[in-house]
Amino acid sequence: MPSYNPKAIEPRWQQYWLTNKTFRTTDSPDRPKLYVLDMFPYPSGAGLHVGHPEGYTATDILCRYQRMRGKNVLHPMGWDAFGLPAEQHAINTGEHPHINTQKNISNFRRQIQSLGFSYDWDREVDTTDPNYFKWTQWIFLVLFDTWYDHDAKKGRPISELPIPPGVVGEDAIARYRDSKRLAYQAEVPVNWCAALGTVLANEEVIDGKSERGGHPVVRMPLRQWLLRITAYAERLIEDLDGLDWSDSIKGMQRNWIGKSEGAEVDFALSGGATIRVYTTRPDTLFGATYMVLSPEHALVPSITTPEQRAAVEAYQLAASRKSEFERTELAKTKTGVFTGAYAVNPVNGERIPVWIADYVLATYGTGAIMAVPAHDERDFEFAKTFSLAIRTVVTPSLEWLSRTGSTADVLTEAYTEDGLACNSGLLDGLTTDTAKAKITAWLREKGLGTRKVNYKLRDWLFSRQRYWGEPFPILHEIDADGNSTGRIEPLSPQELPLTLPELADFKPSGRPEPPLGKATQWVNVTRNGRRYKRETNTMPQWAGSCWYYLRYIDPKNEKAFADPQKLRHWLPVDLYVGGAEHAVLHLLYSRFWHKVLYDRGYVSMPEPFQKLVNQGLILGEVEFTGFQSNGEWVSGKNVKFDGATAKRDDRTQEELTLVKLPEDQVEKIGDQFALKGRPEIRVDARAYKMSKSRGNVINPDVVIDQYGADSLRLYEMFMGPLEATKPWNMRGVDGVSRFLGRVWRLFIDDRSESVQLNDTVQDVPAARDTLRELHRAIQKVTDDLDAMRFNTAIAAMMELTNHLTPLNVRPRSVLETLVLLLAPFAPHLAEELWQALGHSQSLAYEPWPVYDPALLVDTEVEVAVQIAGKIKARVMVQAGLDASALEATVMALPEVVALLQGKTVKKVIVPARGGLVNIVVA
RNA sequence: GCUGGUGUGGCGGAAUGGCAGACGCAGCGGACUUAAAAUCCGCAGAGGCGAAAGUCUCGUGGGGGUUCGAGUCCCCCCACCAGCACCA
Spanning CA of A870 to C1' of B49, the rounded length in angstroms is 20
For A131-150, the pLDDT digits (tens) are 999 999 999 999 999 999 99
Task: For residue A769, give every residue at least 6 positions away whose Cβ sits within 8 Å of its Cβ, in sequence order, or none.
Answer: A803
User: Which residue has its C-alpha nearest to nucleotide B61's C1'?
Assistant: A671
A784: nt with nearest C1' to CA: B14
The pLDDT, as a whole number, for residue A329 is 56
A745: nt with nearest C1' to CA: B39
CB A721 within 8 A of CB A810: no
| H or E element in which residue A489 lies | strand A484-490
Spanning CA of A584 to C1' of B84, the rounded length in angstroms is 11
CB A123 within 8 A of CB A478: no
CB A464 within 8 A of CB A537: yes
For A894-907, the pLDDT digits (tens) are 888 888 877 788 88
A796: nt with nearest C1' to CA: B23
What is the average per-residue pLDDT within A594-605?
97
Spanning CA of A907 to C1' of B58, the rounded length in angstroms is 27
The pLDDT, as a whole number, for residue A202 is 67
How many other CB atoms are there within 10 angstroms of residue A472's CB atom? Answer: 26
User: Which residue has its C-alpha nearest to nucleotide B25's C1'?
Assistant: A732
The pLDDT, as a whole number, for residue A325 is 59
User: Which residue has its C-alpha nearest to nucleotide B87's C1'?
Assistant: A456
CB A484 within 8 A of CB A478: yes
Handedness of CA A707, A710, A711, A712 (dihedral sign): positive
Q: Reduce the secondary structure of A82-114 to three states and give it as a string.
A: CCHHHHHHHHHHCCCHHHHHHHHHHHHHHHHHC
The pLDDT, as a whole number, for residue A12 is 96
A715: nt with nearest C1' to CA: B24
Spanning CA of A899 to C1' of B53, the rounded length in angstroms is 21
A326: nt with nearest C1' to CA: B86
Nucleotides, chain B, CB distance < 7 Å: 3-5, 10-16, 18-20, 22-26, 38-41, 56-57, 68-70, 81-88
Q: Among A409-418, A433-442, A504-513, A575-584, which stretch is predicted with the lowest mean pLDDT?
A: A504-513
User: Which residue has its C-alpha nearest to nucleotide B26's C1'?
Assistant: A731
For A264-309, the pLDDT digits (tens) are 999 999 778 899 999 999 999 999 999 999 998 999 999 999 999 9
The pLDDT, as a whole number, for residue A843 is 97
For A166-211, the pLDDT digits (tens) are 999 999 999 999 999 999 999 887 778 877 777 777 667 766 677 7
pLDDT at A220 over 80: no
Spanning CA of A62 to C1' of B1, the rounded length in angstroms is 42
What is the average per-residue pLDDT within A570-579?
95
Spanning CA of A799 to C1' of B21, the rounded length in angstroms is 16
Spanning CA of A572 to C1' of B72, the rounded length in angstroms is 35
Q: How far is A497 from A501, CA to CA, in rounded Å?
A: 12
* Percent of chain A clearing pLDDT 90 (strictly above): 65
Spanning CA of A623 to C1' of B38, the rounded length in angstroms is 29
The pLDDT, as a whole number, for residue A206 is 67
For A54-77, the pLDDT digits (tens) are 999 999 999 999 999 999 999 999
The pLDDT, as a whole number, for residue A207 is 64
* C-alpha Rg value of chain A to the nearest Å: 34
What is the average per-residue pLDDT within A115-143?
97
Domains (range + CATH), chain A: 259-455 (3.90.740.10), 619-689 (no CATH), 724-853 (1.10.730.10), 860-921 (3.10.20.590)
For A402-429, the pLDDT digits (tens) are 888 888 889 998 999 888 999 999 999 9
A263: nt with nearest C1' to CA: B88
A377: nt with nearest C1' to CA: B86
pLDDT at A763 over 80: yes
Spanning CA of A207 to C1' of B77, the rounded length in angstroms is 31
CB A232 within 8 A of CB A240: no
